[in-house]
Amino acid sequence: MHPVLFQWGPLTLHSYGLMLAIGFLSALQLALRRARELSIDPAVVQNLAFLVLGFGIAGARAAYVLLFWEMFRGNPLEILRLDHGGLIFYGGLALGVPAGLVYLKGKGLLSWRMVDLVIPPLTLAHAIGRVGCFLNGCCYGEPFLGPWAVVFPPEGIPRHPTQLYESGFLLILFLGLKRLERSGPRPGAVALTYGFLYGAWRFGVEFLRGDNARGAWGLTAFQWASVPLIVLCGWMLARRVMRG
């Protein structure tokens, strides 16, 4: 674990924040390059990226605070310490996606084509961000005695490195989406494929997560959140395939 990569006096470089920054900048450059290929104004894509980033982080943090309120009840200032980790991806989607759609609608650019443009960069950013989770020691898995188990402090128990599982899956998904993108599919196919596959993956990998409480039917809140994503994206994707 390396939650702090560098410290010099009051200057502290946290691995979680660094990986988030690297992920965002990598995604932004990828999106800008794709926008130029499609003759889309790069300024629109850049503004969209920063808007979604801001609202996405706010939604991801709000979801984490609400889910783990007992951790913040006695120290509300900790809510602002994003460098300590604590972002929920689905919370970011819930706030960041509507903000982006409203912005595109206001510009008269709301279309599946624009949504497809940002999905592969988002997937890459998420893959890099999960490395930050691993370095920070959050989002860990169930106890596990396999040869690739990782000991996460402070318990000192070998566990599944679920952060790396997800990072690897997201990287493969990113490469697959880029290949799909180059094949010239129907508008919306890239975004819907992402939603279906990521929802299915998240539902499955949650069985290995050791940090999320289980509720009804032994499922976590994130598994329940994955179900409508799988169903809706799967249904819409199937309709596009049949029409194609």
Confidence of residue 2 (pLDDT cuts 50, 70, 90): confident
Quick: pLDDT tens for 145-178. Answer: 999 999 987 778 899 999 999 999 999 999 999 9
Q: What is the pTM of this model?
A: 0.91
- Is the pLDDT at 42 greater than 90? The verdict is yes
What is the end-to-end Cα distance of the chain in Å, rounded? 48
How do beta strands 11-14 and 4-8 pair?
antiparallel
The tokens for 32 are: 């800008």
Beta bridge partners of 158: 151
Cβ(88)–Cβ(62) below 8 Å: no
What is d(CA 234, CA 192) in angstroms, rounded to the nearest whole number?
A: 7
Beta-carbon count within 10 A of 106 CB:
9
